[in-house]
Chain A
Amino acid sequence: MKEFGEKAFVSGNEAVALGVRLAKPHVIAAYPITPQTTVVERLAEMVEDGSLAAEYMHVESEHSALSAVMGASAVGARTFTATSSQGLLYMAECLHYASGGRFPIVMMNANRSLALPWNIYGDQRDSLSLLDCGWIQFYVEDAQEALDMVLQAYAVAEHPEVLTPVMVNLDGFVLTHTYELVDLPPQAEVDEFLPPFQATNKMDLAKPVNMGFTATPADYMEFKYQQHQGILRAAQVLADTDRAFARRFGRSYNGMVDTYRCEDADTVLVTLGSVCGTVRVVVDQLRESGHRVGLLKLRCLRPFPAAELRTLLANAKAVGVLEKNISLGYEGTVFTNVASALARDAKAPLLLNFVAGLGGRDISKQDISQMFTQLFDARQNSPEQRTIFVNLQVETNEQRLEQVHHG
């Protein structure tokens, strides 16, 4: 990790570690897992060399890691943990506990495929399979956004109107292990942007409370409604936070969604995470040959930017959703969410779901160009099948049947 004053040449993981150090958490507990390992290694080194005054707790599992930071959060500490894939799944019970308890923990997740088959490479099936656990979910594109969103994540999570944990997702390897030059915000500026966490409910000897209590059927549902409202309010808080961040640090991410050449686009690819960079290049290429195409980047999946999608895609004729994910037996979860948002409009655009990059398979410019071609074609012939596995290396029975049909 090379730091040069206000710049650093770092991997995505190291950018997260630098962001966490700037946020000054009191307690870090994590268990190493590929491809998250280097973020917690760097944090351990920072605690060791005294540049980060945090308690680093060694734990025997991810379940314990999240339990430990929940305990620390309960006494009013700012906390951090990080995981990936199987480790995130092992935390699943605690994810619901942390959100139900309104503990504003920030966690980095390195998006990685799930076993079986065993595979350590990047896809988004880990976090997307846990979309319903009551956490705010951010997806970032590059190292700078990763660093910046760690800072924004604490501001959103700890906001008294929100009090909800935040998961910051980075694509495994493609982002976690790619080195980039990042701007390091000055510590004094970060201290002003992110003042110490003021817990409204905490364990306190002077004012003892029960925490993590039981609610019977007569009262349970109101707590879930309250939690739901907290996550919904995070949309406005994130927008305000981004504006405050931009004023201080000169970088803005436009809250829950960002767009690229979408204004007059009739064909838009909606996606999330690091692949957005590749899509931008393809959009530029297709624009040069006269196609009105654009990119819509989802930065936040919970809360879900449904209203923003309806506005930004109001004039699109065809919309593709590209995700490194499939809800087996139905369609991609991101696609389901986008389709649900657009279904409220009578003239919803034609929708295709591109399932790609599972288990770390590369998504090339050619693949993305092909997706746009399929969207152009779909506007003519409205295909029956909406979910398409991209770049399968074998012929499928469906393809063979189609050949027989047309041949």
Chain B
Amino acid sequence: MSHPKVQPFTRPKHIDDLPQGTSFTAGHLVETTASWRTQTPQVEAEQCNACLQCYLVCPEGVISVVGTGITIDYDFCKGCGICARACNKHAIKMSEGGV
């Protein structure tokens, strides 16, 4: 299962257009959290054996399986580095900077 994507957000024009209380359609994301990142995980595909340890431990659920490898949704990755630490194959490296 992949992380929901950001959807375009139209700001309500009238008070009645707001959801009543803090409740709205599940997975309706209107903002990314990419800007929180100070380090960025990079996957070296040749070293990855798709054991999915990173997928299991990612606290944001931004790692998903694509074909025989993994992919990271950089819109929501906060750069915590847990995936890099968990990777037995050292296939994920943290690079300095948010991109």
Q: Which of B13-21, B36-44, B58-66 contacts A (4 or more CB under 8 A)?
A: B13-21
Number of interface residues of A (CB under 8 A): 22
Main secondary structure of the interface of A (DSSP, over half): loop
A306–B21 Cα distance when bound, in Å, is 26
Does A225 interact with chain B (Cβ within 8 Å)?
Answer: yes
Known: A209-B26, A210-B28. A201 touches B19 (CB 8 A): yes
Q: Do the beta carbons of A209 and B23 come within 8 Å of each other? A: yes
Q: Spell out B's residues near A (CB within 8 Å).
A: 11-12, 15, 18-28, 31
Q: Do the beta carbons of B31 and A209 come within 8 Å of each other? A: no
Instruction: Convert A206-248 into 0s and 1s, putting 1 for each residue whose CB lies closer than 8 angstroms to a CB of B.
Output: 0011111101101100110110010000000000000000000
Chain B residues lying within 8 Å of A163, measured Cβ to Cβ, are 20-21
Q: Which of A212, A215, A223 has the most CB of B within 10 A?
A: A223
Please give the distance in Å from B24's CB to the nearest CB on chain A.
Answer: 6
Within 8 A of B (CB), among A178-229: 200-201, 208-213, 215-216, 218-219, 222-223, 225-226, 229
Q: Do the beta carbons of A201 and B23 come within 8 Å of each other? A: yes
Instruction: Convert A84-105 into 0s and 1s, putting 1 for each residue whose CB lies closer than 8 angstroms to a CB of B.
Output: 0000000000000000111100
Q: Do the beta carbons of B15 and A225 come within 8 Å of each other? A: yes
A312–B12 Cα distance when bound, in Å, is 40
Q: Do the beta carbons of B12 and A200 come within 8 Å of each other? A: no
Chain B residues lying within 8 Å of A201, measured Cβ to Cβ, are 19-21, 23
Chain A residues lying within 8 Å of B26, measured Cβ to Cβ, are 208-210
Q: Do the beta carbons of B12 and A223 come within 8 Å of each other? A: no
Q: What are 24 inter-chain pairs, A to B, with CB distance below 8 A?
A: A100-B22, A101-B21, A102-B23, A103-B21, A201-B19, A201-B20, A201-B21, A201-B23, A208-B26, A209-B25, A210-B23, A210-B25, A210-B27, A210-B28, A211-B23, A213-B23, A213-B24, A216-B31, A218-B11, A219-B11, A223-B18, A226-B15, A226-B20, A229-B15
Q: Do the beta carbons of B22 and A222 come within 8 Å of each other? A: no
A163–B27 Cα distance when bound, in Å, is 24
A164–B87 Cα distance when bound, in Å, is 48
Please give the distance in Å from A215's CB to the nearest CB on chain B.
Answer: 7
Q: Do the beta carbons of A101 and B22 come within 8 Å of each other? A: yes
Q: Do the beta carbons of A102 and B20 come within 8 Å of each other? A: yes
Closest chain A residue to B17, Cβ basis: A222
Q: Do the beta carbons of B22 and A211 come within 8 Å of each other? A: yes
A115–B19 Cα distance when bound, in Å, is 40
**Residue from the list B11, B22, B27, B31 in contact with A223, Cβ < 8 A:** B22
A386–B35 Cα distance when bound, in Å, is 55
Chain A residues lying within 8 Å of B24, measured Cβ to Cβ, are 209-210, 213
Please give the distance in Å from B39's CB to the nearest CB on chain A.
Answer: 24
Q: Do the beta carbons of A102 and B12 come within 8 Å of each other? A: no
Chain B residues lying within 8 Å of A222, measured Cβ to Cβ, are 12, 15, 18
Q: Do the beta carbons of B20 and A215 come within 8 Å of each other? A: no
**Pairs of residues from A and B, 5 with the lowest C-beta to C-beta distance, nearest first:** A102-B21, A208-B26, A201-B23, A213-B22, A211-B23
Q: Do the beta carbons of B20 and A200 come within 8 Å of each other? A: yes
Chain B residues lying within 8 Å of A213, measured Cβ to Cβ, are 22-24
